[in-house]
Amino acid sequence: MSSLVRLRLLPSAKCLYTQPVQVLVDGLRSSQVVTVKAGTTDDKGTLFHASAVYRAGADGGVDLGRDPSLGGSYRGVEPMGLLSSLRADVLHAKFFKIDSRKPHVVRFSVHEGEEEAGATLAEATNERRLLADGVSRQPIDEGNIRGVLFVPPGEGPFPAVLDLYTFGGGLSERRASLLANCGFMVLTLALYGHHQPKTVTKLHLDYFEEAIQFLRKQPKVMDSGVGLISLSKSGDLALSMATYLPHVKATVWINGCCSNVVMPLYYRGSQLLSGLMYDGRDLRFTESGALIIKDGLHDPLAPENQGSLIPVEQAAGHFLFVAGEDDLNWDSCLFADHLTERLRRHGKDNFEKVFYPGTGHYMEPPFGPFCPSSVHAVVGAVVAWGGEPKAHAEAEVHLWSKIQEFFRKHLVSDTASAKARL
C-alpha cells in the first residue's frame, strides 16, 4: 500500500446501519484513475462485493459524494453506491443480516487503475451497527410466541410496533432493531408459532393476537395502540390483523396483496379467509434463470376468489400502502389501488399510498445490498424480484423516513409528545 494515499470514512468509520458515510480518497496524483472496492460477508457466510472507477481531481482527491463513477458496479454520482451495489459472488443470493448483535462490516479499498486486481493503495473498514447504544435485545419464548423484543433506552413510554418481516417462518432482526434505534419498542415475530409443526398448511390469527397482547403488556409501552410493519406475504397478514383484531392503530403494508395468499387463515377454530393460489402455467424465465411469477397469482377480484379478499373497510386504524412499480413478485400497485378504492367506496380516508418507480419487491432499510433475485420461500424456486438498483436504493432511503413519520403520527399521543419535548 502507498503511505501517501488515504481512504477516509466520515464522520466516523463506526456508525449505525442506516447512517450514510462520506467516502474520501486523498494523496493521489492529479487525474489518477483508481478503482474503489467494497466487500462484506453476510450472516450465512456469503461474500458480496462492488467496485467503481474514479478519476482524481486536480487536488489528488476523490469524493464519492461529488465525483461520478466512470464504470464498475454503477456509473454517475452515488455517495452510497458501493453499499447499495454490493452483489454476491454467486447468482441469486439474498443478503442475510439476521442477527442484530453482529454489525454489518464493509471493507473498503483503493486500487491502482481501472482493474479490481490493481495494486492496493489504501484500505478502511466501516462497522455499521444494527443496535444503538442502550437498545436492549430480548429473545422471547413465551406461550406460543417466538420472536425478539427491542426496547429503546430510557423510561418511555414508547410506541409499540409488531414487525412481521419473515424468512419463510424464521426471524430477521434487522428492520426491528433499526426501528428501535428510532425510539420504537419493536417485537419481530416469527411467522409460525413456537409450537406449530414445521409443515404449516394454515395460519392462525390467534397467534398474532397473542403477540399484540404481549406487546401491550410491556411496562414501558405507550398505551396508544400497536403499529404493524409488513412485507410481501406478511402484508396480507397485517391487513387481516388490522381488520379483525382490536388495538391495531397503524399498518405499513409493503408490496403485499389485497387477499389472503396461499394458506387459509383461521381464528378461534373457524376459517376466516381462504387462500389465493398461484398458477404455474403463467410463469416466465429471465436470462439468469430466475422465474418471473408476477402473472401467476390468481385474480383476487374473480368471483371464485371472493373468499380470500380481506374486508379492510372494517379496520379502525390507519394504513400506509407502499408499492414498487417494478415489483415482479406480484402486481402490488394494482393491489394497493384496489385496497384504497375499496376504502374510498366505504367512505374511509384512513390511508396514504406511495408508489416508487423503478423499485422492486424487496424494499429494505436503506444502505443494504440490492437483491434482484433469490429463492422464494413459498414457491421453492429462484424468482426475480424486479427493480433498478439506483431507483430502488433511493426509494428505500425515502421510505425509511416515511415509515417513522407515519408511525409517530398515528401511535404517539399528544400527551406523550409533550412529555418528550419537556
Record the cell numbers describing residue 37, joined without a space: 472496492
Q: How far apart are the first and last CA of the chain?
A: 52
Query: In b/e form, how buried is each residue of 251-286, taking b as 16+ CB within 10 angstroms?
Result: bbbbbbbbbbbbbebbbeeeebbbbbebeeeebeee
Determine the Cα–Cα distance for residues 242 and 131; give it in Å rounded to an integer. Answer: 29
Assess contact for 260 and 311: CB atoms under 8 A. no
Record the cell numbers describing residue 305, joined without a space: 376468489
Residue 119 is classified by DSSP as: P
**Residue 401 half-sphere exposure toward CB, CA atoms < 13 A:** 5
Task: For residue 300, say if its preceding peptide bond is cis, omega within 30 degrees of 0.
Answer: no
Q: Is 30 a catalytic residue?
A: no
Q: Where are the alpha helices (DSSP H) in 113-187?
A: 174-181
Catalytic residue from among 104, 361, 376, 410: 361
Determine the Cα–Cα distance for residues 410 and 414; give it in Å rounded to an integer. Answer: 10
Determine the Cα–Cα distance for residues 234 and 175; give it in Å rounded to an integer. Answer: 14
Record the cell numbers describing residue 257, joined without a space: 396483496
Catalytic residue from among 73, 85, 230, 232: 232
* 221 membership: H or E segment, kind and range: strand 221-229
Q: Is 195 a catalytic residue?
A: no
Q: Specify burial of residue 199 (Cβ count, 10 A radius: 0-12, 13-18, 19+).
A: exposed
Q: Pairing between strand 145-151 and 185-189?
A: antiparallel
Residue 386 is classified by DSSP as: -
Record the cell numbers describing residue 106, joined without a space: 464493509
Q: Is residue 26 classed as helix, strand or coil in its secondary structure?
A: strand
Q: Is 111 a catalytic residue?
A: no
State how far Cα 7 lies from the chain centre: 30
Strand partners of residue 76: 69
Residue 261 is classified by DSSP as: B
3-state percent breakdown (helix, strand, coil) of the chain, nearest 5: 25, 35, 45
Task: For residue 11, say if its preceding peptide bond is cis, omega within 30 degrees of 0.
Answer: yes
Strand partners of residue 309: 259
Residues tagged active-site: 232, 327, 361
